Structure 1
Amino acid sequence: MPKVRVRRATTRHANVLLPPCPGPKLHAFKHADSPIIWGRRLDRDRDDNEGFVFQVEIDSKEYALKVFKFSHPRSNRYYRQTRLEKEIPLSQAIFYTDPFYAECRAYGRIQEGIDSRKVREHTAVKCHGYLYLTGEDERSLRRRGLDFEYQLMDRDLRKALGGDTRVRAIVKQLEKDTRRVDARNIRRAWRSVCLLNESLKIYNMDIRADNFISYRLVDFGSSWTEPHALLQFLEEEDKRLAEDKRLRDTSNFDDMIQEEQIPTRLRVLSTSRHQLRSRGRVG
């Protein structure tokens, strides 16, 4: 597929931090209004994807651009199947259930951790900020057969988004080294998860081999970052269930080791919270 250059109009969102709710926020990409040269698609074409990932060129530099589909809070079972739907309006719930805002919150917190020197950048693939696609960008991708799931945009969701139905994207570092997580880097991968969970209160919720490049996590579309409305609700309703959510990455990490048949003595499922913090500081 040849590269396609799309001219961009000024979007005037350079100083807006997202999401507009309590908690960490992500800044706009500094070249958000520059033309995008669309390259090849990097992710697997699956119906359950939160979006689409492309290799792109912006301002003469190459990046990985994750373009998000739209989602509706009512598709989230923790919102739909509890009294939370009555207590938190869509205008707030969208910021805790939508994969785009989940990534904004996680990467915003990671940047806070870097700025405060709580963690180093290697816990995740670097994020450069968010941007909105222009109509020309969107039409170009539609011609490639992509569906942004606009059918979910009922009146309530449009109102929750303030009428802003532009397609959202997050700009990430394009990694040339695409080695998978394996026996050589499994402990560093575990360290990354520990630092995110324990130091930054980010729970990825999607720990699997495909979500790592070497020992760094790539995708945070399913993540919960504290303070998080759904987690606070679970804390009030069932503290054990809330703790299970906080330990989901630990359980999934152990499952990944077994599923990928990675030779290692590392076993994390039965690790105590104190040991989690200790192991998280081991290189």
Structure 2
Amino acid sequence: MPKGRGLASCPTDPLPPGGGPQLNPFSRDPGDKIEWIKRLDTDREDNDGFVFQVSIGSKQYALKVFKFSHPRLNRFYRDLCLRHPLPLKEGIWYTDPFYAECRAYGRIQEGFESRLVTDQTAVKCYGYLLLNTNDSRWLKKEGIHLEQQLLDRELREALGGDTRVRAIVKQFEKSPRKVDAGNIRRAWRSVYLLNKSLKLYNMDIKADNFIGHKLVDFGTSWTVPHKLLDHLEEVAENMAKAFRSKDTVNFEEMIQDEVIQTRLKVLAKSTHQLRSRGKPEWADRELPKRRRIARK
């Protein structure tokens, strides 16, 4: 991959707009260029974006470049509009994977600042970037399709006319460790803290969404306050409850994987228990509730 394909655009405002948790822009010198080193997710073509190893200002990062999405393709947004019309401009704040990650990492940062959580529950995020024309053209030349065909007049207006390619800068792990028997309890604690302490629901708990015990991807996450979740609370309380427990159910399914199950049988409780009670009986025993640390 070529070096220095131009400067990244320089956003200044946290995203997404509209209140709630937000992610700040990536901080770097104006002259720093993106050196595209290699793609890291070549086996995951159906995701909401593409992940690259890059160098910016002589430091290496993992850069997730997001595809565009349209709220009208989201069934929850369509259902919401049948009862409580939500303008497209707001709908994209709660359905777009880029904004979902901005909200999630914004909430994680809030949790650290308030000392509500002190555990590293997710791979570190350094902020978002809006790519410039040169980088966008290079991605297109490399066959990276970002679903720009969805950018109709209505969606362009909802985005305020800003259709630059969106990306989020994360920590690059040189030797990423898989979730396994050695870190499965810490992985569960990450999920538990995100759900219970931060009201952040990842909605995509699976083995390849972890590096060690830390979650990597939040493109499908719902972070409270969330208007689509509020809508579910109003029209189908049981469904809302099911969505809030989805991470726990998926975690139980994940540990049924043969490698983890055979090495950590103590955690392989029945799926029936988990689905009926919302949390496996080992959760409280293995992870007693941690006392909140007061501000210093």
TM-score band (shorter)? over 0.9
Residue of structure 1 in register with 2:226 after alignment: 228
Residue of structure 1 in register with 2:274 after alignment: 269
Residue of structure 2 in register with 1:131 after alignment: 129
The percent identity for this pair of structures is 57
Deviations 1:66-98 (A, max 9, x none): 000100011111112443586101000000000
* Residue segments in structure 2 that go unaligned for 5+ positions in a row: 291-296
Does residue 4 (structure 1) correspond to residue 9 (structure 2)? The answer is no
Residue of structure 2 in register with 1:52 after alignment: 50
Does residue 142 (structure 1) correspond to residue 140 (structure 2)? The answer is yes
Counterpart-to-counterpart distance in 2, 1:62 and 1:272: 40
Counterpart-to-counterpart distance in 2, 1:12 and 1:144: 24
The one-letter code matched in structure 2 to 1:174 is F
Q: Match of 1:24, SS? A: coil
Q: CA shift at 1:17, angstroms?
A: 0.8
The one-letter code matched in structure 2 to 1:74 is R
Q: TM-score, normalised by structure 1?
A: 0.93
Deviates more, 1:216-225 or 1:263-272: 263-272
Counterpart-to-counterpart distance in 1, 2:128 and 2:143: 23
Residue of structure 1 in register with 2:102 after alignment: 104
1:22 corresponds to which of 7, 11, 19: 19
Q: Match of 1:182, SS? A: coil
Q: Is the 8 A contact 2:80 2:228 kept in 1?
A: no
Q: Describe the shift of the 1:67–1:209 C-alpha distance in structure 2 as closer, same or farther (beyond 3 A).
A: same
Q: Match of 2:101, SS? A: helix
Aligned length: 280
List, as ranges, runs of 4+ consecutive aligned residues in structure 1 with deviation greater than 3 Å: 81-86, 270-283
* Residue segments in structure 1 that go unaligned for 5+ positions in a row: none
Residue of structure 1 in register with 2:87 after alignment: 89
User: What is the 5 A alignment of 1:204-215?
Assistant: 204-215=202-213
The one-letter code matched in structure 2 to 1:7 is G
Q: Describe the shift of the 1:43–1:251 C-alpha distance in structure 2 as closer, same or farther (beyond 3 A).
A: same
- What's the C-alpha RMSD, in Å, of the aligned pairs? 2.1
Does residue 70 (structure 1) correspond to residue 68 (structure 2)? The answer is yes
Residue of structure 1 in register with 2:247 after alignment: 249
Q: TM-score, normalised by structure 2?
A: 0.89
Counterpart-to-counterpart distance in 2, 1:144 and 1:189: 35
Residue of structure 2 in register with 1:42 after alignment: 40
The one-letter code matched in structure 2 to 1:5 is G
